Amino acid sequence: MASIANASDYDDRIIAIVNDKVILKSEVQNIIDNLSPEIITKEYSMLSDQEIINKALQNLVETSLLIQAADRFGIRISDIALESELQRIASSQNLSINDFRKTIIDQGGNYSKFINDLREKMTIETLFVSQFYSRMNVTEEEVENFIKREDINQYGNIEYDLIEFVIEDEQKQLAPEIIGDVYQSILEQGFNNTKVKYDNLNIKIKNIGLIEQDKLPSVFLRALRGNLNDKFTELITSSKGYHVLNVVDLINKTSSIVNEYKVRHILLEPNVMTDSEEINKKLLDMKNQIKNLDDFILFAKKFSDDKGSGYKGGDLGYQRPKALVKEFADVMKNMPLKKISDPFQTRFGWHILYVENVRSIDDTKSLVRKNIANIIRSNKAKAERDDWVAKLKEQAYIEIKEF
């Protein structure tokens, strides 16, 4: 946009005044000339020439008002943020930034205008996020109501490939301790070895194969939707006895299976008296002295600078890689179970870690609910945003001239 003071520098006729900014006729014409076929079909195909001009002009008026509002809120898009977004756009087309720039110019576009338009777009998006979207709260009740109203399946369209392990005990005569031992054996040795080990029990292994979720008993579905221990469900109790399902595979385009790691660590932070080399040596000495999990717990309680986990023996609970700094997550994902890592560094200091267990979680439900919450939040933000933009227009000085 040009300021009124500089309007005489342009050969273009001023077509609109928005507070202390102007919109030129060439800007309106440029908007119309560069409408994409998709936008023309969706928004402009049924309009007359004058209605097309009016719509393009109103879009420019609104953009001017929003840029002015962003300026009042002190919103600025840094060159680094702009460069990053430009890189993202270019990469999405498998181009370098230089090649992307050349493509725009070769197609008759104005690269400087493209950059300016991109900065304005990012500015307006930042304005909306900061003033509306980030302040919209969504309750669990709202999510539940949306799911019921729209009849949404939270778990996706899943087809499971299953093997079933059954301990037949209709009378429930087996002691809970025996059932617990059998389940632990399954986790450690698998179905077949466990059946051999407990050949005194009436155990059957059945290959269910591929089966759609809506054909499974509800008690199986609840277990499959719960926590999995290395692809084994928790123990399932039925009128027939006790069951464990092994999830060989599942087919679900909307599914989101994530690994969670039960991990402990010991952290040592550098200070003016101790450099990184000394800390590395201390942690190596600890690693060599630690013989088992109990030792690790004692060393963490005594030496870890992470007091939050230190008093719990370094226990961080079950963690997802995305929730942790990359260096820590990379070591955690690649560590064999029940082994101690070599010392490694993150921005928090130096660590050794111990992975106790890994479990696979079907996070589809959480992902679906998160997406629904985002939809609700967006709708709320849009309603407030539209009201706010309408008030901006009411309070602004806007003069529209003949095109």
Average pLDDT over residues 345-371: 87
Q: Give the pLDDT band (50/70/90) at residue 7.
A: very low
**Residues 309 and 264: beta-carbon distance below 8 Å:** yes
| Nearest-angstrom CA–CA distance, 359 and 233 | 10
Q: Give the H/E segment covering residue 194.
A: helix 176-197
Rounded mean pLDDT of 338-345? 95
Longest dimension (CA), the chain: 98
Q: Give the residue numbers spanning the domain of 331.
A: 258-362
Local confidence band at 327 (pLDDT 50, 70, 90 cut-offs) = very high
In a domain, 371, yes or no: no
Residues 188 and 239 in one domain: yes
Round to whole Å and give the CA distance between 32 and 282.
68
Residue 8 has pLDDT above 50, yes or no: no
Residues 6+ apart with CB under 8 A from 345: 276, 327, 351
What pLDDT score does 249 carry?
A: 87
pLDDT at 402: 78
pLDDT > 70 fraction of the chain, expressed in percent and rounded: 94
Q: Which range, of 47-61, 241-255, 277-291, 343-357, averages the lowest pLDDT?
A: 241-255
What's the pLDDT tens digit per position in 101-130?
999 999 888 899 899 999 999 999 999 888
Query: What does the pLDDT read at residue 255?
Result: 57
343 and 265 part of one domain: yes
| 145 found inside a domain | no
Q: How many domains does the chain have?
A: 3
pLDDT of 46 reads: 86
- Asked whether residue 93 falls in the same domain as residue 191, the answer is no
pLDDT band per the 50, 70, 90 thresholds, residue 230: confident
45 and 106 share a domain? yes
* Burial (Cβ within 10 Å: 0-12, 13-18, ≥19) of residue 30: middle
CATH value at residue 205: 3.10.50.40
232 in a structural domain: yes
Residues 50 and 94 in one domain: yes
pLDDT at 174: 94
Q: Is residue 377 part of a domain?
A: no
Instruction: Please state the length of the chain.
Output: 403
Judge if 263 and 313 occupy the same domain.
yes
Same domain for 106 and 172?
Answer: no
Q: What pLDDT is recorded for position 5?
A: 40
Which residues on neighbouring strands pair with residue 111, listed in sequence order? none
Asked if 38 and 123 sit in the same domain, the reply is yes
What average pLDDT score do residues 47-74 get? 91
Q: Computed from CA positions of residues 371, 374, 380, 386, in that sequence, does the dihedral angle turn out positive or negative?
A: negative
What pLDDT band is residue 267 in, cutting at 50, 70 and 90? very high
Q: What is the mean pLDDT of residues 266-272?
A: 89
The whole-number pLDDT of residue 401 equals: 85
The answer on 131 and 20 residing in a single domain is yes
* Torsion 245-246-251-257 (CA) sign: positive
Give the closest residue to 171 by CA, choosing from 225, 232, 226, 239: 239
- CATH number of the structural domain spanning residue 89: 1.10.4030.10
Cα 265 from Cα 158, distance rounded (Å): 36
**What is the identity of the amino acid at 331?**
V
Unique residue bearing structure tokens 């961080």: 316
Q: 258-284 burial, b for 16+ CB within 10 Å, e for fewer?
A: ebbbbbbbbbbeeeeeeeeeebbebbe
In a domain, 154, yes or no: no
Average pLDDT over residues 311-322: 94
Q: Are residues 247 and 217 in the same domain?
A: yes
pLDDT value, residue 252:
64
**Is residue 192 assigned to a domain?**
yes
- Where is average pLDDT lowest: 61-70, 88-97, 150-159, 195-204? 150-159
C-alpha count within 13 angstroms, C-beta hemisphere, residue 139: 3
Asked if residue 141 is part of any domain, the answer here is no
Distance CA 4, CA 21 (A): 6
Last residue of a domain, one of 210, 227, 251: 251
- Shared domain for 334 and 396, answered yes or no, is no
Q: Give the range among 20-29, 169-178, 328-337 with minimum mean pLDDT.
A: 20-29
Most confident region among 2-11, 131-140, 141-150, 387-396 by mean pLDDT: 387-396
- Same domain membership, residue 36 and residue 107: yes
Q: CB-based burial of residue 318 (10 Å sphere; 0-12 exposed, 13-18 middle, 19+ buried)?
A: middle
Task: State how far the Cα of 230 lies from the Cα of 127, in Å rounded to an integer.
Answer: 45
Within-domain flag for 45: yes
- Spatial separation of the C-alpha atoms in residues 386 and 377, rounded to whole Å: 14
- 212, pLDDT greater than 90: no
Residue 247 has pLDDT above 80, yes or no: yes
Structure tokens at 207: 């290959």
The pLDDT value recorded for residue 1 is: 45
Query: Burial letters for 162-177: b for 16+ Cβ neighbours within 10 Å, e otherwise?
Result: bbbbbbebeeeebeee
The SS3 of residue 249 is strand
**Per-residue pLDDT, 158:** 77
Give residue 256's pLDDT.
66
